[in-house]
Each structure stands twice: as C-alpha cells, then as structure tokens.
Amino acid sequence: MRANKGIDLNKDRLAAFSDGVLAIIITIMVLELKVPHGADWAALSALLPIFLSYTLSFIYVAIYWNNHHHLLHTVKHVNGAILWANNNLLFWLSLVPFATAWAGETHFAREPTILYGFALLMPAISFTILTTAIVRTHPNEPTLAKALGRDAKGKVSMALYIGGIALAFVHPSVAYTCYGLVALIWLVPDRRIERELKHE
Amino acid sequence: MRANKGIDLNKDRLAAFSDGVLAIIITIMVLELKVPHGADWAALSALLPIFLSYTLSFIYVAIYWNNHHHLLHTVKHVNGAILWANNNLLFWLSLVPFATAWAGETHFAREPTILYGFALLMPAISFTILTTAIVRTHPNEPTLAKALGRDAKGKVSMALYIGGIALAFVHPSVAYTCYGLVALIWLVPDRRIERELKHE
Amino acid sequence: MRANKGIDLNKDRLAAFSDGVLAIIITIMVLELKVPHGADWAALSALLPIFLSYTLSFIYVAIYWNNHHHLLHTVKHVNGAILWANNNLLFWLSLVPFATAWAGETHFAREPTILYGFALLMPAISFTILTTAIVRTHPNEPTLAKALGRDAKGKVSMALYIGGIALAFVHPSVAYTCYGLVALIWLVPDRRIERELKHE
Amino acid sequence: MRANKGIDLNKDRLAAFSDGVLAIIITIMVLELKVPHGADWAALSALLPIFLSYTLSFIYVAIYWNNHHHLLHTVKHVNGAILWANNNLLFWLSLVPFATAWAGETHFAREPTILYGFALLMPAISFTILTTAIVRTHPNEPTLAKALGRDAKGKVSMALYIGGIALAFVHPSVAYTCYGLVALIWLVPDRRIERELKHE
C-alpha cells in the first residue's frame, strides 16, 4: 500500500463526507417550508419570513462549501487533528437549519435572532480551528501559512457576528444587517489561496 | 501543487456536491407521499394527485441532472463565477419539492400551478446563466461556444414556462400541457455537445 | 477532451448519483420509526411491525445497491438509454419507503401487502430494462451478453413477486413468504458476472 | 476489463455509499430538534436533553466514520462477505437516530437508556464482524491481521456497553458514564493501522 495513495484516499473521503453532510444540511432546510393548507397567495405569503431565512442560510452554507473546497486544495496530509476539526465544523453547521427555522417561524424575534448569530459564529470559529490544524500539519509550506495567516476576513466576520448578537438587543434588524455584511464579504471565494498558488 | 490537479479537484467536488444536492432534492419529494391512515385502495387513491406531481417533478430533476452531467463534461476550468452560477441553480431546484407538494395537495389549483411554473422557470434561467458562465471561462474553445451558443431548446423551454404561467388563468390543465411539453423536448439528453465533441 | 475521460466521468457520476439516491432511500425509511411518546417497552413494541418492514426493505435496497454495483462494473459506455433506464430504476426504488411504511403501519393488511409487492416488482422489471440497455450498448462484448443473458434469478424474482401479489388474497403472510424468498435468492451477490470476468 | 480497476471501483463505491449513508444518518438526527413554538429562552431550554443526546450521537457516528475510513485503507479486495458485513454495520447505525431521539425526548429514562446502549452495542459488534471479514479476505497480509488482531479497544467498548446496559437498572446516569467512556477511548483515530503501515 503506497503511503501516497492512502493520503489521497484520506483527502478524497474527507471531501466526499463533507460534501454529503453539507448537501444534506443545505437541502433539509427547505423542509421547513411546510406546504400551506390554502391554495391562494395569502397562504403562500405567510411563508415569506421562512423563505427569507432559508435564502440567507442557503447562502451561508454555500459560502462554507466554497471556502471548504478552496481550503482542502491546500491540504496534502490528513491526520486525526484535521479530521476532528472538520467534524467539529460539520457539527456546528448541522445546527444552522434549526436556528434558521426558529428565526423564520418567530418572524425574527430577538432571542431567535441571537441564537441565529451564535449558530453562524460557531462555524466561523470552527473554520478558523480547521485552518489552524491544516497549517500546523504542513509546517514546511510557508506559502500556505502566509496565505491563510492573517485571515482578515475571518476576524472581521467573527467581530460582525458578535456585534450583531449584541445589537440584537437594540433591534433584530440591526443584527441581520451585521450578519448580511458577513455574507457580502465572503461571497467572493477565497482569492488569498488562489493568488498565492499562482506565485508558486 | 499542480494547477492541473487543483482544477480536477474543483470539477470533481462541484460534480459531487451537485450530485448530492440533486439526489436529496429528488428523494425528499417522495416524503410528501404521506402514509394514509386507512388500509384500503380508497385511502391510497386520495394520494393520486401528489403521486402525479411527484412523478412529473422527478422527471424534471432527472432531466436537470442529465443535462448538468453533460454540461460539466465541457468544463475545464472552475472559477468563482461557475461555482456561484451552480449554487444559484441548486437553490432554485431546491424549491421544486415545495412547489410540487403545493400543486399536488391543492389538486392543481390555479395559484399553485402558477408557482409550479415559476419554480420550473427559475432553474431554466439559472441553467442558462451557468452555461454562459462556462462559455465565458473558456474563451479559447469556439467548439463549446458554438455547441451551446444557440440553445434553441433552452429558449423554447423558457417560452413554454412563461406561456404556461399565463395560460394557467385560462385553466391549470393548459399550463400543465405546456410544462409537459418542456419535459418531452428535454427527455433526449443534450446531443448538441455530444455531436460537436465527436467532430473534434 | 479525450473521449475516454468523458466516458469515465459519465460512469462515475452515474454511480455517484445512484449511490446518493440509494443511500437516501435506505436512510429515510428509518424516519418512519417515529419516536414513541411513552418511555416503556410497551410503547416500543408497538413499533415492531414498522421495524420489521424497515428491516425487510433495507435488505431489498441493499441488494439493489450490491447488484447495481456489480452491473456497473460491466459498463464501458454510458449513453442516454442507460441514463434513463437508471433513472427509471431509481424512481421505482424511491417509492419503496412509502410502500414499506404503509405495510408496516397497517400491520401488513391485504391492500398494503399487494402494493408492497408491486413496489418490489417494478424495480425488478426496471433492473431488467437497465440490464438490456447495457447489453445493447455493448454489442461487441458477447461475454457480457452471455453473463447477463439468461437472468434466471431475475425471472424467478418477478414470478415470485407476481405470485405473492396474487396469494395476498389468500393471506398476507403467504405473500411475504414469496417476497422473502426473493431476498434469499439475491442475498448472494451476482456471481454470474464475477465468474465470466474471471474467464477473461 | 482489468481486474485491478474493478477492485478499485468496488472499494470506491463501498466508501462512497457508506459515506452517503453515514452523512445522512448524522444529519437526520438534527431533525429531532423540532423548532419550538415560543420565541424565548425557556422554549429553547426545553430542547436541552434532545440537544445533548444529539451531540453524543454525532460524536459516535463521527467516530464510526473515522474508524471506517481508517479500516477501508487496509482493504485491497472487496467481496460479497465484506459488502454484506458493511451493509449490516450501516443497518445498525441507521437505528442510532431513533434510539437517540427516544432517549432525549424521554429525558434519559431507564428503558430508552437501555435501548440506546443496545443501539451502540450492535454497531460495535458489526464493526468487529466487518474487520474479521476484511482480515479473512486478505490471508496473505499478516501485517493487517496483526494490526487488527487483538482489538483491545473494541473489546473494552463492548464490555462498557454491556456494563452500561446492566447498570442502567441502578441509574441511567451510570449507564451514560459507561457510554461516554467508550467515546473517550475512541476519539483518537485508530493508530494501530497507521503505526503498522509505517513499518511497511
């Protein structure tokens, strides 16, 4: 058994399992859009808040999938620390559908808005932990450490989530403005890695 | 890290994630077939409209999977624009189960019929956007642009969906005739690409 | 684009999509095991018929996955006929969880038992159609045609399903005996293909 | 058709199907976290036992995924015995969400606690059966047999599950202490295989 092949399998299965979990998370959220009993537009429009929260969360999970995808590009060796940092990220992402549904069904009340911010903050922290685990596993690749090192976008995101949670006490709409800003700054995929790799 | 390998991974994960989401979308629709309380044929036959709408939507999602599969054949480079055009397509397809269930449970009433047409129109538009993103990313492949360029079937589909939505005001059955025509013209997989590739 | 690579992608995505759908079908059946309200063994034992029907259907879907897996080994070229024969098989398999749940929740009453037999018969017919589509696509491989040609097990299965459906009018337990016999004859994976391949 | 290629496909599809089923099992457990009707923290805190049981079971299924991943590294030939030993493992793992939900919703009453222990014991036994099937299929690889042979962790796990089930009659909390110990001893991925492979 060639060590090299083993490592590729590791990475492929890590990607495959993550893809599976992310695909399911992103799709089960739509199950909260329960079919209305009436057959008119009024019955449909009652679902608007749930649709809005679904759309926002779809974008977040898609951002995580895109960034996860870019991050795994940089991985050459998978070890236990990376596996569990990845499982930790998937765990917190798996709670996003619940927080999404609670926020949507309560029409974005204060407490569900705070929980939603928390449900977005925890995957952000977990993504940073996963990045750190990957950098530590590849000590001889300064390019990678440099590319991921500063992580300005990650730090701004976490600050915006924490700010949003605090500002939910003023009004939930202020919190959603903060959360929405995070989506905006991440909608562009992680060009840091792309740029550094081009210099190789 | 060889650029070439990175691109393959990109494409493979894009396909894997899309396969996962499409597999889940196509399968969760069947959850709307709720088990009847009675144990006789009358209890079962009450589910006939939901079964019909499930069958129609299964065919649509399978068509998208087949065409997506053919389209990705043509892709050599995956970039942010393609990733997000693909996510956009998956988002609209993820709403098909909801529209399917609403149409089936209201026995194909007018408003759900209009929404169903809209739920089919949006993935059609999104597929065109994805095709455009792919063509733009491969400027040096005139074969691809030529193969996808005219896209007569895509344009006819969109016209039929819009026509169906308008004709739902006459009678829902006219709308479903239009929608069904789209399924018919797409049931043959996209031979345009196959044909052009054979000339290479 | 090398034709060869395209064909591999075709086959890989066909397998990946089928794996995804089969994995979801096999797993959503367990959702019918609804958590009982009581916390004692009596509450649990009320679920026994649903557990039994789940177990039987798990075995059937696992048999299809195993045989599908062996069948795809033989495929070298994927075309539209194979894609749609495969989608047709997945469609009928996607209805197995519904028939399973109806049979279990009605404690194996006559009509649900007949539907369950029908829900097992249709994938069997579809598997034969898929096999035929594959043989026709590979006209220059007499080994494959010979290996799949007689298909004694497939014919016996269909006879047993039809017999079971008819005998459900005597008593549902006779029908389940027939259905169970089919599971038994298929539990051994398809050695026909394995045997022929060894002779190559 | 090269035998070698066939074997790789076998192994890849076995991994892909298992990944799919495990990804769905781990994710549908979160569906038991039903959205509360209220919008305050009291409504949320009522879900705490279900959240706790979800977290514990997420860790168990993740451990199985990690160990399954390591175990498949060692596989060179997939045969019917391995396929069915794997299906058997997936079957028992598919029942974990049910047992998790029953334990959480009954606030860890005695009978659900015993069932939960049983639902964890059966995959442990099944994993041992799968390991044995793999070792038997690879008779010429003493390294593998040696690496997996003693399986001290597996035996201790089974003893802890059986002990936990027995001690549930004293108090459920004693049972969960036993179950939790198993998670602790497995959180480190299976270094036995890693170590032996390095000596090759």
Distance CA A13, CA A7 (A): 10
Percent pLDDT > 90 in chain A is: 40
Distance CA D34, CA D45 (A): 12
Which residues 96-115 on chain D approach chain C with CB closer than 8 angstroms?
97-98, 101-102, 105-106, 109-112, 115
Per-residue pLDDT of B84-118, as tens digits, reads 899 999 999 999 999 999 998 899 999 999 999 99
Q: Are B20 and A20 in contact (CB < 8 Å)?
A: yes
Distance CA D35, CA A31 (A): 12
Closest to C30 (Cα-Cα) out of D32, D106, A92, D18: D32
Closest to B134 (Cα-Cα) out of B191, B61, B80, B189: B80
Chain D residue nearest residue A15, CA to CA? D19
Distance CA A75, CA A135 (A): 9
Distance CA A13, CA A23 (A): 15
Q: What is the pLDDT of residue A130?
A: 93
Q: Which residues of B touch C28 (CB under 8 A)?
A: 27-28, 30-31
Whether the CB of B183 is below 8 Å from some CB of chain C: the reply is: no
Q: Are B101 and A35 in contact (CB < 8 Å)?
A: yes
Residue D93 contacts residue D130 (beta carbons within 8 Å): no
Q: What is the pLDDT of residue C130?
A: 93
Counting Cα atoms < 13 Å in the Cβ hemisphere of A135 gives 17
Closest to D33 (Cα-Cα) out of A61, A34, A29, A107: A29
Q: How far is D187 from chain C (nearest CA, A)?
A: 25
Average pLDDT over residues D26-36: 87
Percent pLDDT > 70 in chain B is: 84
Element (H, E) at B124: helix B110-137
Identify the domain containing residue C181 by its residue range.
3-199
Look up the ipTM and state it: 0.84
Per-residue pLDDT of C39-56, as tens digits, reads 889 888 888 988 988 999
Counting Cα atoms < 13 Å in the Cβ hemisphere of D199 gives 10
Q: What is the pLDDT of residue C1?
A: 30
Q: What is the pLDDT of residue C2?
A: 32
Residue B184 buriedness (CB in 10 A; 0-12 / 13-18 / 19+): exposed
Whether the CB of D16 is below 8 Å from some CB of chain C: the reply is: yes
Q: Are C94 and B28 in contact (CB < 8 Å)?
A: no
Number of Cβ within a 10 Å radius of residue B48: 11
Q: What is the pLDDT of residue D150?
A: 66
- Interface test with chain A among D24, D29, D30, by most A beta carbons within 10 Å: D30
Average pLDDT over residues D141-154: 71
Instruction: With a cut of 50, say whether residue D200 has pLDDT above it.
Output: no
Per-residue pLDDT of B113-142, as tens digits, reads 999 999 999 999 999 999 988 888 887 776
Instruction: With a cut of 60, say whether residue B192 has pLDDT above it.
Output: no
What's the pLDDT band for B149 if we cut at 50, 70, 90?
low
Is the pTM of the predicted complex or chain greater than 0.90? Answer: no
Query: Which chains sit next to D, with 3 or more Cβ pairs under 8 A?
Result: A, C
Q: Are A22 and B17 in contact (CB < 8 Å)?
A: yes
Q: Which residues of B touch C106 (CB under 8 A)?
A: 39
Average pLDDT over residues D166-173: 92
Facing B83 at nearest CB: one of A16, A41, A66: A66
Least confident interval from A68-72, A121-125, A176-180: A68-72
Distance CA B57, CA B184 (A): 13
Whether the CB of B200 is below 8 Å from some CB of chain C: the reply is: yes
Q: What is the pLDDT of residue C93?
A: 95
Q: How far is A83 from chain D (nearest CA, A)?
A: 8
Total domains present in chain A: 1
Residue A81 in tokens = 């620390």
Chain D residue nearest residue C20, CA to CA? D20
